[in-house]
Structure formats: C-alpha cells, structure tokens
C-alpha cells in the first residue's frame, strides 16, 4: 500500500516561504534576493544583493541557469524575496509604460569587470543609439569594437544598463541577449515616448 502525501495548500506554502525569507533576512543570511516580473519583452528575472540590483535576465537565458550561476559567482544563499525588488520592479513597469527614461536604483556591478564594466557605464541615453565603434571610443578604446559587442552580450543588467541602444555601424540592430525582437521593441518604446 502506497501512501500519498497530503497536499499542502498554496497559501500555506506562501506563508512558509514568507517566514523563511523573513528569518533569513533577519539573520543576515540572504545574500541574493530575486523575483520574476512580467514585461512586454517577456518575463525578466531580477536579482539583488545588499549592494543593489546585480542581475536582470531574459527567459531565453534560462532563469534557473542564471540562478545557478549567481549561486556560483556570488553566494549560494539565494532566495525568492520579491519585496526586496519592489523598487526595481516598479521602475521597470514605469519604463515600459513610457513614464521613466532613467533608472534610479543602487546597482551592484560585481558581475562586470574591466573593460566590460567600462562599456556598460558608457551607454547612450534614452531614445538614442550609438554604434559599437562609438561606444568603444567613449569607453577609451576606439579599436575595441568587438570587445564592446562582447561586453553588451554579457551585460548583467540589460534594460537597466541599456545595451539595446548599441547598434552596428551600418544601422543594423545587431544581436541582443534578449533577442532581436526584444531589442526592436525596446528601441521602438523609447522612440515612441
């Protein structure tokens, strides 16, 4: 005779998770908090450390794989803690509604080092685009065009640090971590505002 486990109500699971999150937070055991938000370009995973927003990931990046990578690179003490990311979620919602043109969030850039960090801190402003060559020049290495492409592809904070605004010199959109359609949608959103 096989005994079936008794079903646990969803509400009970949510209460248990909330207690676990609160206890981990109170004991300073929560190093990376995350949540998933629905957006016009698909679900985005948001992750934050106590220093700030550390990762934004598209679904095509495989959210579970991103969480595994965060556990390896930052800390295994990761927990879904949506409240910690309320401000980031609200600002993303405002951006997608066309009422926000810049993000005002503390950022943890520990996943971007060296020239990659230099690139993602020199991206064009809202509603503007720049070529990979232009960004390379502004970042201080005019001949590092391919490295700019790599930096954009590995940007840990897409949308918030807008690598979607970097295009090829011939005007073609080029590649994007969230896919070309997401890049096109973001650029269209910014020119419509």
The secondary structure of the chain as a DSSP string is -PPPPPPPPHHHHHHHHHHHHHHHHHTT---EEEEEE--TT--EEEEEETTEEEEEEEGGG-HHHHHHHHHHHT-S-EEE-GGGGHHHHHHHHHHHHT--SS----B--TT--HHHHHHHTSPPPTT--EEHHHHHHHTT-TT-HHHHHHHHHT-SSTTTS-GGGEE-TTS-----TT-HHHHHHHHHHHHH-
The mean predicted confidence, pLDDT, of the chain is: 89
Higher pLDDT, 20 or 128: 128
The catalytic position among 163, 166, 167, 187 is 163
User: At 175, is the pLDDT very low, low, confident or very high (cuts 50, 70, 90)?
Assistant: confident
Q: Is 152 designated active site?
A: no
pTM for this model (two decimals): 0.86
User: At 131, is the pLDDT very low, low, confident or very high (cuts 50, 70, 90)?
Assistant: very high
Q: What is the pLDDT of residues 98-112, one digit of tens each?
A: 999 999 999 999 999
């Amino acid at each position: 005779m096989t005994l079936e486990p008794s079903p646990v109500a969803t509400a009970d699971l949510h209460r248990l998770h909330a207690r676990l999150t609160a206890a981990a937070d109170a004991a300073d055991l929560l190093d990376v908090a995350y949540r998933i938000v629905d957006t016009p370009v698909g679900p985005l995973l948001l992750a934050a450390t106590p220093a700030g927003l550390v990762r934004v990931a598209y679904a095509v990046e495989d959210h579970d794989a991103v969480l595994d990578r965060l556990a390896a690179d930052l800390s295994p003490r990761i927990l879904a803690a949506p409240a910690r990311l309320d401000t980031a979620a609200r600002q993303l919602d405002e951006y997608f509604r066309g009422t926000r043109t810049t993000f005002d969030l503390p950022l943890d850039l520990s996943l971007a080092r060296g020239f990659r960090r230099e690139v993602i801190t020199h991206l064009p402003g809202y509603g503007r685009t720049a070529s990979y060559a232009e960004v390379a020049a502004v970042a201080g290495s005019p001949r590092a065009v391919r490295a700019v492409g790599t930096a954009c592809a590995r940007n840990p904070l897409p949308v918030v640090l807008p690598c979607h605004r970097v295009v090829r010199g011939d005007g073609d959109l080029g590649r994007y971590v969230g896919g070309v359609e997401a890049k096109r949608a973001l650029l269209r959103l910014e020119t419509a505002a």
